[in-house]
Amino acid sequence: MQFQDSLFAKHMAPITGSAIRDIFKLLGKPGMISFAGGNPSNQALEPEVIAPIAKEVIETIGAPILQYGATEGFIPLRGSIHQFLTEEGVICQESEILPTEGSTQGLDLLLKALIDPGDVVLVEDPTFLGALQSIRTYHAKIVPVASDELGVIPEALEEAMKTYHPKLAYIIPTFQNPTGVTLNVERRKRVAELAAQYGVIVAEDDPYRDLRYEGEALPTIKSFDQEGWVVYLSSFSKLISPGMRVGAMVISFPTLMRKCVIGKQSSDLHCPLITQAIVDSYLRKGLLRPHIDRIVKGYKAQMNAMLEGFSAFPEGTKLNKPEGGLFVWAALPEHMNTLGILNKAIEAGVAFVPGTHFYSEGGHENTMRLNFSNSPVEMIYEGMEKLSKVLNDAK
């Protein structure tokens, strides 16, 4: 018998994968300058530090590090993440912390726990493409909520909560992916209030928080959460290593924690103990804060190089100027279409992600997301020059 696509689950049938991941396949060409990804800089990764830590934790812990572990996470790591989150202003008990495979798994477990087909999930407009795909995997109805240069607009969020009775709102409050925008303090407080008022779980995905190059750190949405409606998603992918896949959720409602643990039992049983123990040891040795101080300097120089490069973009290009994170977001003059331009850019040896992919309902074809963390300063200058030429030819 032939395998027919009709055998797929209905919600999976239309999902064809991340457009970004398909763009990545075009990037193998030697000399390509990629502003398309969201990778940390290789210079921000420390194999020479991690290698001896890996050996040490395996030797010190011995056989139990190779045995089955608890779904709830490696106990010492829960302790060191608790310490880290306390410093970040996320006040919680250790029992509210669930280590996850990056914040990717945090969102997946929330969706698994909460979403029946047709349930509504609110997202910022635009938002992280990977989150859109995860939400679609659960056959949720995605409702975009208007956002501006201060982040998601509380009045629009309240209106959407009233109208659509969502189960979940997904928000990236700091140096948002893709726009780089940071939600201001008043709005953070208001989002927490609205979550409690309308009984909506807010997933606060905050992986870029510590990559701040200017201005002052803001309190998390979670810090304004009195009742437990905000689930905080933390990740060490941008700070220590994405390849280790270590992040954490903070879940205050015990029954919701229990469902996420049950979901994780069937997703992967538990996160690998070696990677959990490496991150735990790295945090306990006090290596994280000095490391962040160092990488922030490099990223700031890269961001500034990219911002300089925009001066040669077509007149009328609008630009956000983020205070941190990994991305700059640009809107070209309205008549321009970055989908078509991408192919020419790749021919010229430079890549980016068309902004339309980050809008749940498409459109906004004149927008683009540019990543600066994954290219050294001189390549950023070179890439922005090439890209400016392509754009000016296309305008």
- Please pick, from the candidates 19, 26, 150, 274, the single residue that binds its own copies as defined by CB under 8 A: 274
**Residues 100 to 119 in contact with its own copies, rule: CB under 8 A:** 101-102, 104-105, 107-108, 112-117, 119
Q: Which residue lies nearer to its own copies by CB, 51 or 91?
A: 51
Site mask for its own copies (CB under 8 A), range 116-145, x = bound: xx-x----------x--xx--x--------
Q: Which stretch binds its own copies (CB under 8 A): 78-86, 213-221, 239-247, 306-314?
A: 239-247
Q: Binders of its own copies among 184-203, rule CB under 8 A?
A: 196-199, 201
Q: Is residue 265 within the footprint of its own copies (CB under 8 A)?
A: yes
**Binds its own copies by CB under 8 A, chosen from 19, 46, 300, 377:** 46
Spatial distance between the Cα atoms of 273 and 289, rounded to a whole number of angstroms? 23
3 state SS of 149: coil
**E strands along the chain, which residues?**
33-34, 97-100, 120-125, 141-148, 151-152, 168-171, 201-205, 230-235, 247-250, 318-319, 327-331, 350-351, 353-354, 367-371
Supply angle C-alpha 153, 38, 187, rounded to 5.
15
The whole-angstrom separation of Cα 352 and Cα 34 is 7
| Binder among 42, 83, 86, 95 for its own copies (CB under 8 A) | 42
The answer to whether residue 287 forms part of the interface with its own copies (CB under 8 A) is no
Of 119 and 125, the one with the shorter C-beta distance to its own copies is 119
Q: Is 321 in the site for its own copies (CB under 8 A)?
A: no
Size of the site for its own copies (CB under 8 A): 96
Q: Identify which range of 66-74, 145-153, 337-345, 385-393 contacts its own copies by CB under 8 A.
A: 66-74
**Span near its own copies by CB under 8 A; candidates 7-15, 75-83, 283-291, 331-339:** 7-15
Taking CB under 8 A as the criterion, the residue among 52, 316, 340, 363 binding its own copies is 52
Identify residues 198-237 at the interface with its own copies (CB under 8 A).
198-199, 201, 227-229, 237
Is position 47 an interface residue for its own copies (rule: CB under 8 A)?
yes
Give me the half-sphere count of Cα atoms (radius 13 Å) on the Cβ side of residue 86: 9
DSSP line for 187-245? HHHHHHHHHHHHT-EEEEE-TTTT-B-SS-PPPPSGGG-SSS-EEEEEESTTTT-TTTT
Residue with tokens 């400016």: 388
| Stretch of 63-71, 323-331, 336-344, 362-370 lying at the interface with its own copies (CB under 8 A) | 63-71
Tell me the two tokens of residue 103: 């914040």
Among 65-73, 81-89, 210-218, 356-364, the segment contacting its own copies (CB under 8 A): 65-73
* Least distance to its own copies, CB of residue 268, Å: 4
Quick check: 275 binds its own copies (CB under 8 A)?
A: yes
DSSP helix/strand/coil, 158: helix
Please provide residue 273's backbone torsions phi and psi, each rounded to the nearest 5 degrees: -75, -30
Q: What are phi and psi of 220, to 5 degrees?
A: -70, 160
CB proximity list for 42: less than 8 A, separation 6 or greater: none
**Cβ–Cβ < 8 Å for 110, 262:** no
Does 11 sit near its own copies (CB under 8 A)? yes
